[in-house]
Structure 1
């Protein structure tokens, strides 16, 4: 790998982490104007159309044709898009952008846990179980539930965000276990559109109101535009590019850089303060990821050392 390519990959990695970290800040800002589920649905109305246009441009198989492919899309739409964002947006009404980003960073750990549960022949080792426990302890430190008041608004909000991370992790495992395959651009596009449809149905069932002034407020439109265009459309394109260049292990590390941007811009723009317990909780979640993924991380590190030493 040339030095220019290394710098390019590092720059794109930090850019993606910044985009996805500040997306949590945009969610918090937009929730001041939009009802949560409808806000998430609007985001993917726009992002889904943009991603479908890109899929039509980039790949030949830009729409599902077989039953298995539609099943793949259905899982993506319901778990990766709809369930994840319903839980996240509803929960983030009552927690900070940084806390939400930290809890969501548990997704790679939960993904490994679900993969091992659904594949009993590949059970977690004792160290992997400790890593999973570290991640759950980290969530507990972020939530800090009072045993006498377990259903306070703040605790329920963190639990909802945890449900979002769980839905995303489970969806990722199920989609990888299905026999059907689709180009990632096609899967993302139709999952976004299907997820938006599901979220509109949920919003309608909840009777969410929409104030007409939301469509004329600069902050509301800015938050929606940022989430749909930058965080979703551009963010996923960067993700696809880096996934091909870096691999799944390194790209997962974006989850652990994004909360730094969420905390910084949440403080600068929203005046949110991250306390010490939240920082410690983030440390536990990151340590859990290292323990669960230790073999893959070690292998990737050795590979990078050999590649750099040969230049």
Structure 2
């Protein structure tokens, strides 16, 4: 039913929004790449266990099945979280959540770069540029000090958004028959391995430098179990029922939960500049995806709040 879909949408936004605050808590005591690596070690173990319980096939058997595992693991898990967690050392989680609103803006542009048959219209191109303008508003760069901590943090989170969007584009059209849970488990394992390699290569990253405080361990467990394994299950359940356009709107609800949780648990708040940048990014998204948004709104108008569709019925 539609109410169930709406409930899962809000629940996932809450889970992933509060995950930014959990990341802030963990980064108080743990090096960023190591923190992300251990998170996905645990999440991969959980998903492999779930795949075993379901009786799913575990091992990729062809190039077509390995391709999304390696691409998604390297970009959506490894590069994305290495950059995101490093960026959150310098900016609050609520600001990082707002910046990731750029993902639905840049994804269509990257799709057109990888598909010669697709072209970005002038209005769509303006939307992409507007999205990046929103990032500049949030960064609020000082020409005299472009190496400031805030500017560096915004740049790292921006890079993480591009890495995630590129990974999503490259894995979107994969023709894999490997069960979903097994695919996600392998992606997280590949990403964790790359994150461990990144941690080992950085001079300030080591297990000796980590402080495994109770709050850091609690944050790690929340990110691995609830936001990681549980969050991805909810995400793909939702994607199967409402499609990519409506799911992408999560990126504009997540910051609300991130801001409220950050204010309630850590006393942080979004400033007016960040809110303004968020609004600019959202307008950019509407320009890029205007046709899809119109179609989605039309479906809502035809279906109505209490009706069900074949995809909604269980």
In which range does the TM-score fall when normalised by the shorter chain? over 0.9
Q: Which moved more, 1:77-86 or 1:144-153?
A: 144-153
**Uncovered stretches (5+) of structure 2, i.e. residues with no partner:** 308-314
Equivalent residue, structure 2, for 1:103: 99
Equivalent residue, structure 1, for 2:201: 205
Paired with 1:295 and 1:185, the residues of 2 have a C-alpha distance of 32
Alpha-carbon distance, 1:120 to partner: 2.6
**Secondary structure of the structure 2 residue equivalent to 1:106:** helix
Alpha-carbon distance, 1:128 to partner: 0.5
TM alignment of 1:231-270, pairs within 5 A: 231-270=227-266
Q: Any idea what the Cα deviations from partners look like across 1:123-169, whole Å, max 9, x if unmatched?
A: 11111111111110111111111122111111011000000000000
Equivalent residue, structure 1, for 2:218: 222
Determine if the alignment matches structure 1 residue 20 to structure 2 residue 22: no
Alpha-carbon distance, 1:225 to partner: 0.7
Equivalent residue, structure 1, for 2:179: 183
Q: 1:31 to 1:241 in 2, by over 3 A?
A: same
Equivalent residue, structure 1, for 2:61: 65
Paired residues of 2:30 and 2:209 also in contact (CA < 8 A): no
Paired with 2:292 and 2:53, the residues of 1 have a C-alpha distance of 34
**Secondary structure of the structure 1 residue equivalent to 2:304:** helix
Paired residues of 2:57 and 2:178 also in contact (CA < 8 A): yes
TM alignment of 1:1-311, pairs within 5 A: 5-58=1-54, 60-180=56-176, 182-207=178-203, 208-211=205-208, 214-215=211-212, 217-308=213-304, 311=307
* Paired positions, count: 306
Paired with 1:211 and 1:32, the residues of 2 have a C-alpha distance of 15
Q: Which moved more, 1:224-233 or 1:175-184?
A: 175-184
Q: 1:14 to 1:71 in 2, by over 3 A?
A: same
Alpha-carbon distance, 1:189 to partner: 1.0
CA RMSD of the aligned region, Å? 1.8
**Secondary structure of the structure 2 residue equivalent to 1:168:** helix
Alpha-carbon distance, 1:187 to partner: 2.1
Q: Which has a greater percent of helix?
A: 1
**Uncovered stretches (5+) of structure 1, i.e. residues with no partner:** none
Q: 1:167 to 1:212 in 2, by over 3 A?
A: closer
Paired with 1:220 and 1:32, the residues of 2 have a C-alpha distance of 8
Alpha-carbon distance, 1:241 to partner: 1.4
Paired with 2:137 and 2:183, the residues of 1 have a C-alpha distance of 35
Paired with 2:238 and 2:210, the residues of 1 have a C-alpha distance of 39
Alpha-carbon distance, 1:182 to partner: 3.7
Paired with 1:103 and 1:74, the residues of 2 have a C-alpha distance of 26
